[in-house]
Amino acid sequence: MPRVALHTLGCKLNFAETSTIGRQFMNRGYDVVSFDQPADVCVLNTCSVTDRADRECRQLIRRALRNSPNAYVVVTGCYAQLHPDEVSGIKGVDLVLGANEKFDLFGYAGNLEKELYPHVFVSEITSANNFGAAYSTEASNRTRAFLKVQDGCDYSCAFCTIPLARGGSRSQSIEECLRQANELVQAGYKEIVLTGVNTGDYGKHDGTSLYTLLRALIKIEGVQRLRISSIEPNLLSDDIIALAADSEVLCPHFHIPLQSGSDNILRKMRRRYSAGMYRKLLDKILSRIPHCGIGIDVIVGFPGETDEEFGRTQKFLDEIPASYLHVFTYSERLNTPASSFPHQVQRKDRFQRNAALRQLGLKKKQDFSARYIGMTMPVLFEGVVQEGERAGWTPNYIRVHVPAQSTEENTVVPVVLADGKEGECCGMLSDDQVTA
């Protein structure tokens, strides 16, 4: 049986798309193996959100060739779309596919045998209209599935290459989303996470909305949990907040990018809100859903970010009721407005600011989970066992660990939360809840 090794860099959307490509190989009789195992074909789905992602992509291509010197190597994703010449220039690469071409790999790959020179098929991103049904699962089989409902972005944030790599905003039809969600539920998945480049923009060009999609999805028989991967603050509507407050299916958890607590920096970033608007949104959410988990993205070291403005961001984050932070160091990206902005921040200062906010993020995470110590919460347990423990997630996104033998994968179990490490909790099950 021929073997294919797949590897994904970047976001959950990329994982969903890689999983779809993997199913195409399986339908043709391929065995999917680990990226570190010898394979006949290696497929790398890339990210290009930072220069670090670009470097990692190049390293992974070379690693694949060390493991499988004669493998047919396919590179797709954002790095391939933005820099096809760089990718095709890496010795051993056979096929480079852009955003419009990735789901027709077999139409471009021929007989999947190595040739003297690589083939590059990357169309202009302005022509991108290929959506492609896509969903993926985490390593914890049949537990959480990531369903792609939206792609591309119409925004013009000064630091972002996503519109250049993925094109304009477009959405999967509600009917197709429901079909795929039903397929996932029938396969045994307990939680579906909606993902996209700008998920809150769902339905913008189709006369519908994310709220309408959510209303339809929560009615699917057998779906136990529905979660939104990330949503822009200006797109998190009162209707969605109310639905999360009233529904037992839509999880009380929102991941809402902030990027900066300085209005001056937000304007330079071309974001569509102010720090004050963001704070009012969080207050509105928590007034309706006091136990809601709120995750935040923030970028440090954006051009022109002075010590004073960074301090403003740090103070803002310290004061707002977040449950965790994702901190990113600003990275210059070719063909973005910010790459030519004056007053670029020195790298050592960027890294120091990143470290400071990561410490703050850990404190936020610890403080949030501590509020629930001693309370009983439903936890969806995953399949992966590490150091004798199985972990899972509460609806409001607290990670909980229990002894592996005390429960089974893909079960939702009431657990009494106890103190743990680094913002995660230990769980205690009563005797009648122990399954093994």
Q: How confident is the model over 298-352, as pLDDT tens digits?
A: 999 999 999 999 999 999 999 999 999 999 999 998 889 999 999 999 999 999 9
Looking at the chain, which residues constitute the CATH 2.40.50 domain(s)? 376-433
- Of all residues in the chain, the percent with pLDDT exceeding 90 is 70
pLDDT of residue 60: 85
Banded pLDDT at 436 (limits 50, 70, 90): very low
* Mean pLDDT value across residues 412-418: 95
Rounded to two decimals, the pTM is: 0.89
Report the sign of the C-alpha dihedral through residues 331, 332, 336, 339, in that order: positive
Identify the residue with better confidence: 59 or 281.
281
Q: Which of 2-6, 160-164, 399-403 has the lowest mean pLDDT?
A: 160-164
Q: How far is CA 82 from the centre of its chain?
A: 20
Closest to 257 measured CA to CA, from 15, 11, 425, 8 = 11
CATH of domain 133-251: 3.30.750.210
CATH of domain 376-433: 2.40.50
Contact between residue 244 and residue 283 where contact means Cβ atoms under 8 Å apart? no
295 φ/ψ angles, rounded to the nearest 5 degrees: -100, 150
Instruction: Classify domain 252-371 at the CATH topology level.
Output: Transcription Regulator spoIIAA (3.30.750)
Q: How far is CA 71 from the centre of its chain?
A: 29
Is the pLDDT at 140 greater than 50? The verdict is no
Identify the residue with better confidence: 427 or 16.
427
For the segment(s) 3-127, the CATH number from 3.40.50.2300, 3.40.50.12160, 3.30.2010.10, 3.30.365.10 is 3.40.50.12160
- Of all residues in the chain, the percent with pLDDT exceeding 70 is 94
Closest to 298 measured CA to CA, from 346, 321, 330 = 330
Is the pLDDT at 373 greater than 80? The verdict is yes
Looking at the chain, which residues constitute the CATH 3.30.750.200 domain(s)? 252-371
Is the pLDDT at 383 greater than 90? The verdict is no
Q: Which of 17-21, 141-145, 159-163, 264-268 has the lowest mean pLDDT?
A: 141-145
Closest to 253 measured CA to CA, from 269, 283, 231 = 231
Mean pLDDT computed over every residue of the chain: 91
Is the pLDDT at 64 greater than 50? The verdict is yes
Closest to 14 measured CA to CA, from 58, 79, 60 = 79
Residue 14 structure tokens:
């990329």
Contact between residue 136 and residue 19 where contact means Cβ atoms under 8 Å apart? yes
Banded pLDDT at 415 (limits 50, 70, 90): very high
Closest to 354 measured CA to CA, from 382, 334, 327, 324 = 327
Cα–Cα distances (Å) from 307 to 272, 303, 312, in that order, read 23, 12, 9
Q: How far is CA 72 from the centre of its chain?
A: 28
Closest to 394 measured CA to CA, from 424, 435, 358, 367 = 424
